[in-house]
Amino acid sequence: MVRPMTVRVRIAPSPTGDPHVGTGYIGLLNWCFARRHGGKFILRIEDTDRTRCTAESAQNIYTSLKWLGLTYDEGPDVGGDRGPYVQSERVKLGIYKRYADQLINQGDAYPCFCTSETLDGMRKAQMAAKLPIMYDRRCRGLGSAEAARRVAAGEPHVVRMKTPLEGDFSYKDRLRAKPTVKAWADIDDQVLLKGDGWPTYHLAAVVDDHLMGITHVIRAEEWLNSLPKHIWLNQHFGFTPPEYVHVGLLRNADKSKISKRKNPTSLLWYRQQGYLPEALLNFLAQLGHSHPDGIEQFSIQDMAAFFDLDRINVAGPVFDLKKLDHLQGLWFRQLTPERMRDEVVRAIDDRFAQLFPLVRERLTRGADFISLAEPFYAVSVNHRVDELVPKGHEAAQIRTVLEVFAKALKEVQAADTWTIAATEAAVRAACAAEIAKAPEDAAVAALWSPKIAFSALRVAVTGRTNSPPLFETVAAVGAVRCLERLTAATVRLR
């Protein structure tokens, strides 16, 4: 009789940008698996990309996970005996360097002195020749003595793994009928240690999963392609690999990997919009998994009782807010009057400090706040065609204006810089570009003037002809809702 091992699972988000709904999804799966099997659920912060990670973002991950109720047994802000749980701190302890050195000493990894320019050139040539794009291993041929001498001389370098040159790799994922098989020849000599001495994801994750005693790595399918590298690393370090399980990726309506341009992906957004954690979790729980009795509404505590890793559907589910809204309605209406009241107050209060300065000078009585701030709280607004289209202009013209603005603002959203200044700059630049296309045309200049074009934008975003200053309004309404309304307005003008 084999003694069952204690399950230890983790999520390992990277603190870049807003806390992601995908982190919530994978977190839920891991949380349920741990709870179902009486194991531990661990949070590890993977901040090895020094240019993109921020402390604020890490903080948002902690608060979002707590908001959702996905409590972790070990993590940066809760401690645990396998810490530290933040990789940048582990870098300082020299952990990854030590393992990289082990591989070099074993002859399983080598220093590479190629510059990013030579690498770029190589990739371009491979692309032109329609060859697989991968490192040509030129530094692998360097003698170890020469390599060591150049490293000692301080020459900039990375450390790459010596991927096998032939043979096949095979791994049976429990969610797939057949084993994943790949030819080693197709697998790149992955960079393990970057030029700055920090580890890449692959090295850091494998080392930490082992050191933290992780038994099952339940992660998104985007990692399936690098699985051979991870198994290889485990083997060459002498580790017993955890079981790797890959689940489907959350998708946009067009089936592409979920992205903020096409869906609200920030957990912060869901909270700000008044979604209940119970509802969001319930929704996420039905993506790729279902209640065995077909019950639609259930809590994560219920889910922990019936969760079955083997029943996960690996086809990536489309993320559909309509279904979330339905669940949200069910959960919200079942709230006790006390808790519902708290939610109402919180919904208003959370945005009060942000909105109050915008409406203050327009108030006559306290209660006016409700009507003035309504477009900021509303899920959607109604557009009147006669308000959208200024006198003397055609609906088609205004539709074009709004489409151009939407395109420009989507760029701002994608760049994660949704501020008063950035949205204004983008819209003004768009106007200038349109006017520049027909410098002599007075009608074009009139259409793209602030008076006309901005008026259309205001109505599109607020559903009204009057509002606080335009770009303060655009910024406060937020990227997701703003873009939704722009789209709705253009549809209205069709």
The answer, yes or no, to whether the previous bond of 84 is cis (omega within 30 of 0) is yes
Using CB atoms within 10 A of its CB, is residue 367 exposed (0-12), middle (13-18) or buried (19+)? exposed
Q: Which of 249, 402, 431, 493 binds RNA (CB under 7 A)?
A: 249
User: Is residue 46 at the binding interface for RNA, with CB under 7 A as the rule?
Assistant: yes
- Find the shortest distance in angstroms from Cβ 43 to RNA: 13
Q: Which of 194, 260, 262, 322 is catalytic?
A: 260
> Which two three-digit tokens encode residue 96?
């990854």
| Number of alpha carbons in the 13 Å side-chain half-sphere of residue 83 | 15
State the Cα–Cα distance between residues 41 and 65, nearest whole angstrom. 12
Residues near 357 by beta carbon (within 8 Å), at least 6 away in sequence:
none
Asked about 124 being catalytic, the answer comes back as: no
User: Is residue 281 at the binding interface for RNA, with CB under 7 A as the rule?
Assistant: no
* Helices 21-36 and 277-285: angle between axes, nearest 10 degrees: 80
- Find the shortest distance in angstroms from Cβ 279 to RNA: 12
Q: Which of 5, 79, 138, 296 binds RNA (CB under 7 A)?
A: 296
- Find the shortest distance in angstroms from Cβ 323 to RNA: 4
- Find the shortest distance in angstroms from Cβ 179 to RNA: 7
Using CB atoms within 10 A of its CB, is residue 150 exposed (0-12), middle (13-18) or buried (19+)? middle
- Of 429 and 491, which CB lies nearer to RNA in the complex structure? 491
Of 89, 83, 146, give the one whose Cα is nearest residue 113: 146
Point out which span in 7-15, 340-348, 349-357, 474-482 binds RNA (CB under 7 A).
Answer: 7-15
Using CB atoms within 10 A of its CB, is residue 267 exposed (0-12), middle (13-18) or buried (19+)? buried
Q: Which of 1, 3, 238, 255 binds RNA (CB under 7 A)?
A: 255
User: Is residue 288 at the binding interface for RNA, with CB under 7 A as the rule?
Assistant: yes
**Beta strands in 228-358, from DSSP E residues, in sequence order:** 243-247
String marking each residue 174-213 x if it binds RNA according to CB under 7 A: --xxx-xxxx--x-x--x--xxx-x-xx------------
Q: Which of 19, 277, 317, 478 binds RNA (CB under 7 A)?
A: 317
User: Is residue 437 at the binding interface for RNA, with CB under 7 A as the rule?
Assistant: no
- Of 108 and 387, which CB lies nearer to RNA in the complex structure? 108
Total residues belonging to the chain: 494
Footprint on residues 52-81 left by RNA (CB under 7 A)? 52
Residue 381: count of CB within 10 angstroms of its CB? 19
Q: Which of 142, 151, 211, 224 binds RNA (CB under 7 A)?
A: 224
